[in-house]
Structure 1
């Protein structure tokens, strides 16, 4: 994961979206600029929102190179530490002048002249000097020679020195007792390089935390000293550690790359929270079905599988678009490239006390991703409870409907979607447990949580049973040719409920499902006898031949399959639920046609909590 974050950071830096290592945007702009030349200096107001040297300075005293707060850069702090801050700034400039990597004579001359200016105290006589506050950021610009008009802290050699300085400050050990540990960087492979013990920049997830942590002394590499978990280096060079952190923060800050999968509303830093960060490696645009697709468009569609919380309204259009997208041929626009050169990366992270926990890391090529996502979406695709066209609920909807914050469930579903692994164990059992509740099938008006959870629960049930199998496609709607006893029993219960509804002209508040769903789905042989007798005498004579003929057809198939099972196993109970759901949806989809049209309209309104008390 670190390696891919570093590669992402380098790419973003090349595109101008990230500053170089050791530099970071601040909330406060640069408010003052010192324009100087030999023997002359002028202080000007400014408001420059630029990335600047960053060391992670908090309460300790540490100077930044060639751009810093007024207390450091100009010594304007009257407090007890003011002189010490300015001294550290001047010492850092002296150290820069003695650095062997300083090869630009113009930069050397400018920094030398700046040191003379600051030590002379001439700036203190400038009329604007009293207005500079200790926390105001100050930068320096020479006004002669080849560097005229350039901010010195942005010079490439100044940036290179600052990175070496930060690597030295980030070495293992306490301040004043740093240990230079040389080794091979675990990310870039550079060797020998100075290895860091702490990355100065923290990641922003819920508060600012380090991207790394040590739980016990057994985990650090290169350990040494009495407290190895505090003194061991990370096995990373400073540029790699800092670049990975800046790339992480870029992902967190951009909605295109971030989605909250599980959110604890009362506690932002709870370990139960799970956030997905995702990005693409796309060497060139793709041609999808003859049209060019850029990286952002493709990523926006691929990430829609993660989704958000369901609203019980229209299907998310992007998922439907993704389904169509996956059926089209994909190929790179540039010759010589294949889909194997394109990759999708996803990390699931959670905040924790003083650290960030990585829950899952997924890396896969687009060639594999296209195949796996198509299978995942087909597994989830199912007709709506009122006969709406089949759609795919998002992962967020499924998790909300299951009511589970188990991180292993989230990880398992992500692996199924993006890696093609089998659905997590217990997925369809969890959905089945929720579906045993009759109130889920006939929720009260206004019970939006149950109303919007039925569709994704049935989708999870179907995914767990049929992912990667031929039946996944046909089970998206009513499978009229499926003759398993459990599925037929589920269909029969929906037929009996429909007969009851039509016989009462849809003017009942509870149906037989409220009383008998649990028993019928567990022990059909002992439950359906009384239900059939009641339907034969009280309901079928009132509703015409359509429903009664369908019941006879299902009963004939059941007899051919061996009759009513005495007890249904868990997988058979799941098939029962699918049969009941699909047959019921088929009835509801047809209610707008013919005799029951008015009642169907009222039923549809009732499902959405509108102005009817029927069904």
Structure 2
């Protein structure tokens, strides 16, 4: 299903000229060697993008590359690294370029064989260059010297002086590319993708661009050990995919995995490189669907128009309206394909795969944000999945996000199922570890509990409030509110403390209330007495005492010995609501939105 969908998408893009035709590929090329008709180097042209100072190459369509290994790996046709083309390379950490005559020799043998009968001026010039080039004499070529050492770590192509385009683009060169296609040497078999008898690929082209995988590329389909062979079949014959299908799905994946600001079909979430594409009735609808889906994965941080459009779509769907009823020019039936790929040594793991209409995905994202909804809202735009995951990672660093947790969360968001229970435990553990009861973390606790309740989990009995709910009698929620009130009483009495009760007791109070709250209650009585003596704080102290008594009445006569994981999540929600309600009231309704931010707890405690 995955390979079939990728091949179909390749065929659509190939028809539009957006991806290379069969036998070609797009590669990063740094330099072009300009030859005269005698095969002499007339100039070397830097192909880096002048508008982008960081760019050291440009993407060019060249004859297809392939995986290579061994002592004398084979060269590419009509282009390659300088280690093959010139016999010189710049190894990592080396101060000076190193000669590589063995690679240069295999490049020379291949091209002298294939270009032996060539009559095209460009191919003849290239053949003459290869015949006369000596790797050790590169220092005598001033055109190459001026680009050292950068050129010796780049791919190069060739041009003929006075002629447009590159030599590998000339019609005669294209004919040679077709003639020496790998398909001619492949064994016929039944392709699992097309269902037709076609030449079967022994090795599939490399997939490049998956974060964390090898720079040379990795594979989804790969058999490289004798232990993988069965029924006398080896390598690609174990999972027969035609040469054309293997080329198609790897080419389109490399296209999707391009990290380019103008190319918005790949998002990094945890260790997974998530690619997606749409299938719609026309090109405009396809681009609109892909743009909307990208926005749900990566909400615009500053584009107010895009953010408003996304919010309008999500709010409308949340109210039960279809996309085509929202005047957004969307075809809700447009199909979206989502593929999450993770690195696994030299192979790639499929973390998840989804195929649904954009209407279904938008509804699921809308439900996801509804589950996260909490007051006060700790974000200006809907938080991207990676932002949520980073909020519960150690030191809030992306590299510390658990790959398994990231994959489970995305499956829940995209599939509409339950969030993993480890999401709730991770949020609680981080709050207990660093004492930051941030809005994002609390929203995650609320989302897990809300979705469990909606999906009829028997362990969840009480409704999870979005904003402060003084009628809610869940013990965890009441204890969280009480803890916040006790902290406020301490602040009213002492005004400034280096470490509040939250810093000392939040973790134990949220897990074992019976052992902590009696101690905190005795301290609160002393703090209340002190606050009552301060004319500026007396009114606040009376209000806090009433709030405390109201909560205690709801709890009953005893504090529970322990709280389950779900109740610890409610504890955090109750604390967040009560804590921010005080600042909301103090600042006034009109200023609340400016004061309540995702960092309010850190800046006010």
Deviation at 1:420, TM superposition (A): 0.8
Deviation at 1:584, TM superposition (A): 0.8
Q: Deviations over 1:340-372 (max 9, x none)?
A: 44213132322x433333333333322321221
Question: Quick one: distance in 2 between partners of 1:407 and 1:161?
Answer: 45
Deviation at 1:62, TM superposition (A): 5.7
Partner of 1:301: 295
Partner of 2:355: 363
Alignment of 1:397-476 (within 5 A): 397-403=387-393, 405-437=401-433, 439-441=435-437, 454-467=438-451, 469=453, 475-476=465-466
Higher mean C-alpha deviation, range 352-361 or range 416-425 = 352-361
Question: Quick one: distance in 2 between partners of 1:383 and 1:495?
Answer: 18
Deviation at 1:513, TM superposition (A): 2.5
Counterpart secondary structure, 1:298: helix
Please state if 1:347 is matched with 2:340. Answer: yes
Deviation at 1:514, TM superposition (A): 2.9
Counterpart secondary structure, 2:521: helix
- Structure 1 residues 85 and 592 mapped into 2: Cα distance closer, same or farther (>3 Å)? same
Alpha-carbon RMSD: 5.1
Partner of 2:548: 551
Question: Quick one: distance in 2 between partners of 1:72 and 1:496?
Answer: 73
Question: Quick one: distance in 1 between partners of 2:303 and 2:124?
Answer: 67
Question: Quick one: distance in 1 between partners of 2:215 and 2:502?
Answer: 49
Partner of 1:257: 265
Q: Is the 8 A contact 1:348 1:361 kept in 2?
A: no
Counterpart secondary structure, 1:379: helix
Question: Quick one: distance in 1 between partners of 2:520 and 2:547?
Answer: 15
Partner of 2:568: 573
- Structure 1 residues 202 and 368 mapped into 2: Cα distance closer, same or farther (>3 Å)? closer
Deviation at 1:494, TM superposition (A): 1.0
Partner of 2:273: 275
- Given candidates 324, 331, 341, the residue that maps to 2:312 is 324
Question: Quick one: distance in 2 between partners of 1:433 and 1:234?
Answer: 44
Partner of 2:149: none
- Structure 1 residues 29 and 293 mapped into 2: Cα distance closer, same or farther (>3 Å)? closer
The count of aligned residue pairs is 519
- Structure 1 residues 216 and 339 mapped into 2: Cα distance closer, same or farther (>3 Å)? farther
> TM-score, structure 1 length as denominator?
0.68
Please state if 1:192 is matched with 2:197. Answer: yes
Question: Quick one: distance in 1 between partners of 2:241 and 2:447?
Answer: 42
Question: Quick one: distance in 2 between partners of 1:216 and 1:332?
Answer: 55
Question: Quick one: distance in 2 between partners of 1:467 and 1:512?
Answer: 32
Partner of 1:16: 17
Q: Is the 8 A contact 1:381 1:476 kept in 2?
A: yes
- Structure 1 residues 409 and 608 mapped into 2: Cα distance closer, same or farther (>3 Å)? closer
- Given candidates 113, 120, 141, the residue that maps to 1:88 is 113
Q: Is the 8 A contact 1:380 1:459 kept in 2?
A: yes
Question: Quick one: distance in 1 between partners of 2:35 and 2:339?
Answer: 42
Q: Is the 8 A contact 1:70 1:136 kept in 2?
A: no
- Structure 1 residues 549 and 140 mapped into 2: Cα distance closer, same or farther (>3 Å)? same
Deviation at 1:380, TM superposition (A): 2.2
Deviation at 1:579, TM superposition (A): 0.9
Deviation at 1:257, TM superposition (A): 2.4
Q: Is the 8 A contact 2:43 2:143 kept in 1?
A: no
Counterpart secondary structure, 1:331: helix
Q: Is the 8 A contact 2:200 2:243 kept in 1?
A: yes
Deviation at 1:196, TM superposition (A): 0.8
Counterpart secondary structure, 1:344: strand
Question: Quick one: distance in 1 between partners of 2:357 and 2:546?
Answer: 52
Question: Quick one: distance in 2 between partners of 1:364 and 1:338?
Answer: 13
- Structure 1 residues 552 and 207 mapped into 2: Cα distance closer, same or farther (>3 Å)? same
Q: Is the 8 A contact 1:33 1:141 kept in 2?
A: no
Counterpart secondary structure, 1:357: strand
- Structure 1 residues 479 and 390 mapped into 2: Cα distance closer, same or farther (>3 Å)? farther
Q: Is the 8 A contact 1:491 1:579 kept in 2?
A: yes
- Structure 1 residues 374 and 218 mapped into 2: Cα distance closer, same or farther (>3 Å)? farther
Question: Quick one: distance in 2 between partners of 1:349 and 1:297?
Answer: 23
Counterpart secondary structure, 1:203: coil
Partner of 1:492: 482
> TM-score, structure 2 length as denominator?
0.69
Q: Is the 8 A contact 1:359 1:407 kept in 2?
A: no
Q: Is the 8 A contact 1:184 1:193 kept in 2?
A: yes
Q: Deviations over 1:127-148 (max 9, x none)?
A: xxx9999976256999xxxxxx
Question: Quick one: distance in 2 between partners of 1:317 and 1:608?
Answer: 31
Alignment of 1:158-177 (within 5 A): 162-163=177-178, 165-168=180-183
Q: Deviations over 1:268-324 (max 9, x none)?
A: xxxxx443333333433788xxxx97245323312227x99xxxxx99997776343
Partner of 1:137: 158
Deviation at 1:418, TM superposition (A): 0.7
Deviation at 1:531, TM superposition (A): 3.2
Higher mean C-alpha deviation, range 566-575 or range 577-586 = 566-575
Question: Quick one: distance in 1 between partners of 2:371 and 2:172?
Answer: 56
Partner of 2:56: none
Q: Deviations over 1:14-43 (max 9, x none)?
A: 33322212213451565458899xxxx999
Structure 1 residue runs without a partner (length 5+): 94-110, 143-148, 172-179, 263-272, 309-313, 442-453
